[in-house]
Structure 1
Amino acid sequence: MKNQRALIVMAVAVLLALAAVALAGRWLLRQPSNSSGRIVVASTDINLGQRLTPEMVKMADWPADSVPKNAFVDPTKLNGRVLKSSVLLGEPLSEAKLAPAGTLGGLSALITEGKRAITVRVNDVVGVAGFALPGNYVDIIVSTQKEATGEATQRERNISKIVLERILVLAVAQEVNRDETKPRVVNAVTLEVTPAQAETLDLARSVGTLSLALRNQVDPHAADTLGATKLTLLPAAAAPAPVPAKLPAPVVHRVAAAPRRTCVTVINGLRPTSECF
């Protein structure tokens, strides 16, 4: 009897302990973690140049030891701000991804301070078959004619030369989305240049035809070239070496051999004489 009563007491104690553990676990799960914070993240994919609205952002828990620098904790501070880089769903928003306050949005928000945007007409060949996309870097090649100097021939005046290097493509046609990786054949490309480069590019397209050369994203090296001309492209054939003139064969004059004669010595007294016939 005593053993049965002891077993009942132990069973009740175990059940109460399990209930206490379960209640404590639920309570702990409901408590905010001291190692996490709440920051503003994107509630949808947002393209660069767009103006933020309250529907585009939301609050989300984020580990306190990995909160991005200058992350926002108040979504109201983002109303009306313009993105200068694309943001994906759930990505934190920070000051580094925003254009300066007061920017109206659109392409002007993407232009670096002190630079300009200029648009050039292209085709499927000039535009690198549609692979010159926003965010890529290109070199500008102009094909034109040099000023005539002296007796320079047409062959020497035609030239193709790289005039601008590592120029950022801001937009193709009227789109600035940099997430697209498929080629798009368009009729216009907008480039980011300095004021001096804008003048060079405007002059280049007025004196010749332009081509774009797509370059590696991380290649900073400059191309040191002299330009290509018809003379360097198709060098003149070397003149054949002169063939030495053949000297006339020497004339050999043969002297006819004298006819053979028979000589006889005749002794006349003491004086010998020779007679030939």
Structure 2
Amino acid sequence: MSNVIKFAVLIVGALMIALIVRVVIASGSHRSKPAVDTQKVLVSAAALPQGLLLRDEDLAWKPVPVADVPPGAIVSGAPDALELKGALLRHAAASGTVLVAEDVILPSAPGFLAATLKPEMRAVSVAVDDVSGNAGLIQPGDYVDLLLTQQMDRRTDLPDLAVSSETVVEHVRVLAVGSEIKRPKNSDAPETVGNRARTVTLEVTPRMGEVVSVAARLGSLSLALRSFATASRDPAASPPASAVQPAPVWAGDISRAVRDLPRSRAVQVAAAAAPAPVAPRPVAIYRGSEKSDATGSVAAGGDSAPSPLPSIPASR
């Protein structure tokens, strides 16, 4: 074997040995580097305003080094972890802020319902059924409109005006459904018809509270769920004021059958309900032996001029 070949073999062997040594050193350094232990903690999924009733969409899990987990943080998988869904946020929180127990007021805390009310606001409850309450799908924290439906047949004889519906209160927040003041978990089984709430508590102004009380006496109330995709989720933000009050919806606006009823039939119904006119009674006037009616015509013969009134006889 020539010296050139021997030299080439030695160079290749040296390169292989150097490569092996490098791999061994690199793997040893990786093994010696300690792994960072993390825990998943509950954080705000977006910028949240003060006074917000928390939903699932407002919360998220974020891995945080164990050394950086603040005291009171909600740790995933912890047996005593608090359920913050439905809790009231005490102060505004930026996106990604770690939420602790002191940041919220839990629904089980005393005075929770009063704490959810904005300043100068009131809580009023209205009676609902399975249909008017959206079949139990409205939950605390939702925003609704209140609709009043009235039977007007006792107040009018026109079929077009037999039933009316109008929105009496707009954009009010639901505080409680029945006795529940927090939203149910997504894993909860659907409620049965017998267990659905019969009352809904709304956050209203004092004036709105008077409107709701009167409306409850006039007819039946229904809840219309508003979209949650609003420009602001701040509970302190005032709802947009309607420039023009919408007109009520009448039976004739909806039903062609009611609208196309023969007008003669409507007139007959109105005429039958109207009281019959009272005929005037004749009045007779006696002047001595003469008799005349209220028009002054003389029944017996004689002068057409009115005779003087008889004198009062002297007392005996």
Query: TM-score, normalising length from structure 1?
Result: 0.51
1:226 lines up with 2:247 in the alignment: yes
**CA distance 1:198–1:178, change in 2 (3 Å):** farther
- The residue type paired with residue 88 of structure 2 is K
Contact 2:42 2:99 in 1 (8 A): no
Contact 2:117 2:123 in 1 (8 A): no
From 14, 17, 20, the equivalent of 1:15 is 20
* Cα deviation digits, residues 211-262 of structure 1 (max 9, x gap): 222333347685842224567664574359xxxxxxxxxxxxxxxxxxxxxx
Structure 2 segments unaligned to the other structure (5+ residues): 44-52, 55-60, 75-80, 90-95, 231-239, 266-316
After TM superposition, give the deviation of residue 92 of structure 1 in Å. Answer: 5.6
Provide the rounded CA distance (Å) in 2 between the counterparts of 1:59 and 1:118.
Answer: 39
Provide the rounded CA distance (Å) in 1 between the counterparts of 2:62 and 2:225.
Answer: 40
Contact 2:139 2:174 in 1 (8 A): yes
Contact 2:88 2:105 in 1 (8 A): no
SS of match in other structure, 1:93? coil
SS of match in other structure, 1:75? coil
Provide the rounded CA distance (Å) in 1 between the counterparts of 2:97 and 2:214.
Answer: 43
**CA distance 1:31–1:216, change in 2 (3 Å):** closer
Provide the rounded CA distance (Å) in 1 between the counterparts of 2:118 and 2:226.
Answer: 24
Q: In the alignment, what sits opposite 2:88?
A: 84
Q: In the alignment, what sits opposite 1:140?
A: 146
SS of match in other structure, 1:202? helix
1:129 lines up with 2:135 in the alignment: yes
- The residue type paired with residue 142 of structure 1 is L
SS of match in other structure, 1:139? strand
After TM superposition, give the deviation of residue 140 of structure 1 in Å. Answer: 1.0
Q: In the alignment, what sits opposite 1:170?
A: 175
Q: In the alignment, what sits opposite 2:165?
A: 160
Contact 1:110 1:170 in 2 (8 A): no
**CA distance 1:59–1:140, change in 2 (3 Å):** closer
Q: Cα RMSD over matched residues?
A: 5.0
Contact 2:41 2:64 in 1 (8 A): no
* Cα deviation digits, residues 153-185 of structure 1 (max 9, x gap): 465697432110122223323332165499755
- The residue type paired with residue 145 of structure 2 is D
- The residue type paired with residue 191 of structure 1 is L
**CA distance 1:59–1:137, change in 2 (3 Å):** closer
Q: In the alignment, what sits opposite 2:290?
A: none
Structure 1 segments unaligned to the other structure (5+ residues): 50-57, 63-71, 86-90, 241-277
Structure of higher CA gyration radius:
1
**CA distance 1:128–1:228, change in 2 (3 Å):** same
Q: In the alignment, what sits opposite 2:228?
A: 217
Contact 2:73 2:99 in 1 (8 A): no
**CA distance 1:205–1:158, change in 2 (3 Å):** same
Contact 1:99 1:110 in 2 (8 A): no
- The residue type paired with residue 222 of structure 2 is S
**CA distance 1:168–1:134, change in 2 (3 Å):** same
Provide the rounded CA distance (Å) in 2 between the counterparts of 1:80 and 1:129.
Answer: 29
Report % sequence identity.
Answer: 26
1:191 lines up with 2:207 in the alignment: no
**CA distance 1:129–1:32, change in 2 (3 Å):** closer
After TM superposition, give the deviation of residue 93 of structure 1 in Å. Answer: 3.1
Provide the rounded CA distance (Å) in 1 between the counterparts of 2:62 and 2:151.
Answer: 61
* Cα deviation digits, residues 5-30 of structure 1 (max 9, x gap): 766655443332112111233345x3
Aligned residues: 204
After TM superposition, give the deviation of residue 74 of structure 1 in Å. Answer: 1.9
